[in-house]
Amino acid sequence: MKSRSFNNFLRFLPGILISILAIFFLSRFIQYEDLVRSFQLFSALDILILTAIMVCSLIARGFVWKSLLEGMSLRDGFLIINEGYLFNNLIPRSGEIVRIFITSNLTKNDAFQAATAIFFERAGDLLIAAGMFLSTLSLVLEMQWLQATAIWIIAIFSLMLMGVLAVAFLSPRINEFLIGRSFKNKKLELTVKPILIRAIGGLTQISQPRKLLSAFFWIFITWVFWVLYLFYGITQISPGAPFWWALFTEGVVALGIALPSAPANLGVYEGTIVFALSVFGISSEIALGGAILLHIIQIAITMVFGLVGLFIHDFKLTLIIEKIQTRMTKKKVTNEGK
């Protein structure tokens, strides 16, 4: 048990170190008196408005989950999204495992169908984020390395998404071929073939144009709320800021938090916002104060709704953490066996 816990810690160590470095560098250039003053720029009404915008974004995300999965209600979709975020706040990159586990237990969708929905959701997110970043880059500075990164992300995920969609549309024929074919190798026939059939079957969820359009529409609406959330926060620390500042900053944040980090993207989230807003001449102290407050609101909301979801769905924290640890251990054993 101790060995497994230590191995899991080593998996998270690179992300934790990145977060520690981000926090260290931020602390070196911050005057704490100015940081405290930046918090005072936000009133109680501002916090309520930011909370409302964030809740709306989570409801839109619930619609995404409802659109992609059969038999998923908006209530369950909303709660599962928050349960995923709750565990991301506790254990880095665990939210997807939690969503797959809870979805497969609550609905008729199996793990492959839930994983396919997550892939489509993530691909849509990165395409929108990179698109926002590129569309505003010409208005900022000449940062060719960032531009190249965004272009590569768009290209790679566009190709991956097109490939997955092509397989999804051909999934009935592929499954028919697999079912009708017998492999001489026993391992292929008894182990690999059933997994392939289930995986290809999972893609049928995204083979319907109506579902895809509905899901992408709600992914887009989610991003509208996320940009509004950031824009409202920016206008409190820099009144009169143009809307495109939020588009650029949100794109930079999305690219930044794709890096490994500590739970809840601590340090990395704040660091990317400070970096993006420094381009517009906003001081590090002011930007960091706003970023910390925005992050606290986001974490608090998702943890509250995530815990409510676990209570309603009758799942225990210990049970899901055990499931995550088992999944990570199996993945490690599989990788070592290759």
- With 0-12 / 13-18 / 19 or more C-beta atoms within 10 angstroms meaning exposed / middle / buried, residue 295 is middle
Least confident of 115-129, 159-173, 237-251, 268-282: 159-173
63 confidence band (pLDDT: 50, 70, 90): very high
For Cα atoms 325, 100, 105, give the angle at the middle one, nearest 5 degrees: 100
The top-scoring range by mean pLDDT among 77-91, 146-160, 282-296 is 77-91
How many CA atoms, within 13 angstroms, populate the side-chain half-sphere of residue 192? Answer: 10
Tens of pLDDT along 152-178? 766 776 777 677 677 767 777 777 777
pLDDT at 84: 92
Q: How many Å apart are CA 314 and CA 62, to the nearest integer?
A: 19
CA 279 to chain centre: 25
Least confident of 12-16, 196-200, 239-243, 302-306: 12-16
CA 113 to chain centre: 18
Q: How many Å apart are CA 166 and CA 164, to the nearest integer?
A: 5
Q: How many Å apart are CA 1 and CA 305, to the nearest integer?
A: 31
* Domain span including residue 175: 2-337
Report yes or no: 212 and 164 within 8 Å, Cβ to Cβ: no
Confidence check: pLDDT of 231 > 90: yes
Report yes or no: 57 and 225 within 8 Å, Cβ to Cβ: yes
Report yes or no: 234 and 290 within 8 Å, Cβ to Cβ: yes
Confidence check: pLDDT of 56 > 80: yes
**Overall average pLDDT of the 68-97 stretch:** 88
pLDDT at 235: 94
Top pLDDT among 323 and 273 is at 273
Other Cβ atoms within 10 Å of 334 Cβ, number: 9
335 confidence band (pLDDT: 50, 70, 90): very low
Amino acid letter at 47?
I
What is the dihedral angle through the alpha carbons of 296, 302, 306, 312, rounded to the nearest 10 degrees? 120
Tens of pLDDT along 86-142? 888 887 778 888 898 899 888 887 888 888 888 888 888 888 887 887 778 767 755
Distances (CA, A) of 64 to 9, 97, 250, 328: 32, 17, 20, 27
**Overall average pLDDT of the 189-208 stretch:** 66
3-class DSSP assignment, residue 110: coil
End-to-end CA separation in angstroms for the chain? 24
Confidence check: pLDDT of 12 > 50: no
- Could you tell me what percent of the chain has a pLDDT over 70? 69
Amino acid letter at 230?
L
Helix runs in the chain, H state only: 2-28, 32-39, 44-68, 74-90, 95-106, 111-137, 144-169, 171-180, 186-187, 193-202, 209-237, 243-256, 268-278, 284-312, 317-337
287 confidence band (pLDDT: 50, 70, 90): confident
3-class DSSP assignment, residue 122: helix
Q: In this structure, is the dihedral angle defined by the CA atoms of residues 247, 299, 97 and 220, taken in order, positive or negative? A: negative
**Overall average pLDDT of the 314-319 stretch:** 75
Report yes or no: 61 and 78 within 8 Å, Cβ to Cβ: yes
Q: How many domains does the chain have?
A: 1
Mean pLDDT of the chain: 77
3-class DSSP assignment, residue 266: coil
Q: Which residues, 6+ apart, have CB-to-CB distance to 49 below 8 Å?
A: 232
